[in-house]
Structure 1
Amino acid sequence: MNRKAILFHGTAAHPDVVWLPWLRKRLAERGYAVEAPHYPALNLESITTFLPKVLANHTFDANTVLVGHSGGAALLLALLEHIDTGVDQAILVAGYCTQPNAENEPVLQDAYDWAAIRANVRDLYFINSREDPYGCDDKQGRAMFERLGGTQIVRDGGHFGDIDQPYESFELLARLID
């Protein structure tokens, strides 16, 4: 079975920050083909024009695992709604589905087809912190969990990596991925 993982960085970030390089290496060692694209326009460009570009750059199937951090996790909601096949797992780290703070959030859709999202993923995890400095907190995780089911994990982990929060590894993530 050819397992694939696609890792999406957060807003104003890139694939070589926080725990993303560590997770890429761990998954590759376990036999995963790992994609970690760089999307500088993430959460700057409207999701209506940005999403088709992301969809065109990747293929998805029942052996695909999606991991997103912050804005990349919010992107996963739109991806899961609009893909044409189901994926194995999606893990949203510091994700959100509504405006988390006063900043503009063009990665968010105006509304979501929650049933379509749920139908397109076998297993969902939401990892949020009670004290996320950007509002991507446990309440955001709860809002997604209540609409989609899956598993909500609440940690006291800030934003799980940021400019002022080094987060070199994330053992929990590696353990959650089948």
Structure 2
Amino acid sequence: MARKAIIFHGTGANPGVVWYPWLGRRLAERGYAVEIPHYPGLNVEPIATFLPKVLADHEFDEQTVLVGHSGGAALLLALLEHLDTTVSQAILVAGYSTQPNTDDEPVLQPAYDWAAIRASVRDIYFVNSRRDPYGCDERQGRAMFERLGGTQIVRDDGHFGDIDQPYETFELLDRLIP
């Protein structure tokens, strides 16, 4: 069974920005089948109708690594809750489980089944920044870590990629994924 990585971009982003293509190339060089799907409806369409499309678009198994950035990390919570299998690893970069600021967040569910999420992933990482301009900060990461365990990594690196923060490589992620 081949190792697979699926990298989910953030709100309003696309597969060609920040560190997504770089990480995809790094993982492909190590033998991963890499998917970096484009989901313009991410955090625009309500999660109740958006999530079934994402679940239908991908296959998940015990060799799958999931990486999500910002809105894509929030998506991973819903995705993990509704999987019928256990994936190898999930890395939530600038993730959040509650509204991080005053913007509408259709990607969030009203509540989460934390036990179901935890049962769907062997290794989970939360990478957040104390200086996140959108509120996807270390407190958000801590709230998820306290419910799910895993590993929390706190940096001072803004949003780990944004319109005004190119962040073209992300060595930490390359090291976290075996």
- Structure 2 regions of 5+ residues with no counterpart? none
Distance 1:93 1:134 in 2: 13
| Structure 1 position 2, deviation (Å) | 0.7
Determine whether 1:41 maps to 2:41.
yes
Q: Does 1:138 align with 2:138?
A: yes
Q: Helix, strand or coil: the match of 2:51?
A: helix
Whole-angstrom CA distance in 1 between matches of 2:101 and 2:144: 17
Letter matched to residue 3 of structure 1: R
| CA-atom RMSD in angstroms | 0.4
Whole-Å separation in 2 of the counterparts to 1:21 and 1:167 = 11
1:11 is aligned to 11
The alpha carbon displacement at 1:98 in A equals 0.2
Question: 1: distance between equivalents of 2:79 and 2:16?
Answer: 22
Give the Cα–Cα distance (whole angstroms) in 1 for the partners of residues 134 and 56 of structure 2: 30
Deviation at 1:3, TM superposition (A): 0.2
- How many residues are paired up? 178
Amino acid at match of 1:146: E
Report % sequence identity.
80
The runs of at least 4 consecutive aligned structure 1 residues that moved more than 4 Å come to none
How much has 1:30 moved relative to structure 2?
A: 0.3
1:30 aligns with 2:58: no
C-alpha distance in structure 2 between counterparts of 1:13 and 1:160, whole Å: 13
Match of 1:166, SS? coil
TM-score, with structure 1 as normaliser:
0.99
* 1:141-161 deviations in Å (ceiling 9; x for gaps): 000000000000000000000
What is the CA deviation profile of residues 68-107 of structure 1, one whole-angstrom value per residue up to 9, with x for unaligned ones?
0000000000000001100000000000000000000000
Alignment of 1:26-175 (within 5 A): 26-175=26-175
**SS of aligned partner of 1:72:** helix
**Superposition TM-score, scaled by structure 2 size:** 0.99
| Per-residue Cα deviation, 1:100-159 (whole angstroms, up to 9, x for no partner) | 000000000000000000000000000000010000000000000000000000000000
Matched AA of 1:80: L
| 1:27 shift after superposition | 0.2
What's the offset of the Cα at 1:47? 0.1
SS of structure 2 residue aligned to 1:95: coil
Return the alpha-carbon distance in structure 2 between the equivalents of residues 34 and 166 of structure 1: 22
